Amino acid sequence: MDNFAYLFAAYTAIFAAIFLYVMFIWNRQSRLDQELRALESKLAALTAASDDAPEPESEKSV
């Protein structure tokens, strides 16, 4: 039990590193989710705008 302090310090450092990594990934995932929602809303707006636009003369059915 002479090296119990070193063992405790090593486990503390490892758990702290894993915790920080998980927090980093969680933050990154949140930002990606926000960006995905923004892109989906832009795509929906563009799709709605293109559906409402009149058809050009050259593309009208005969």
- Residue 13 to residue 1: CA distance in whole angstroms: 19
> Residue 42's pLDDT is what?
95
Asked, for residue 32, whether it belongs to a domain, the answer is yes
- For the whole model, what pTM was predicted? 0.64
Instruction: Show the CA angle centred on residue 23, arms to residues 18 and 24, nearest 5°.
Output: 95
Asked, for residue 33, whether it belongs to a domain, the answer is yes
Asked, for residue 60, whether it belongs to a domain, the answer is no
For 29, the enclosing helix (H) or strand (E) is: helix 4-52
Asked, for residue 55, whether it belongs to a domain, the answer is no
- Residue 56 to residue 62: CA distance in whole angstroms: 13
The total of structural domains in the chain comes to 1
> Residue 56's pLDDT is what?
66
User: Tokens representing 20?
Assistant: 């920080």
> Residue 61's pLDDT is what?
61
Domain that holds residue 36: 11-43
Q: Tens of pLDDT along 1-40?
A: 789 999 999 999 999 999 999 999 999 999 999 999 999 9
Asked, for residue 34, whether it belongs to a domain, the answer is yes
> Residue 55's pLDDT is what?
67
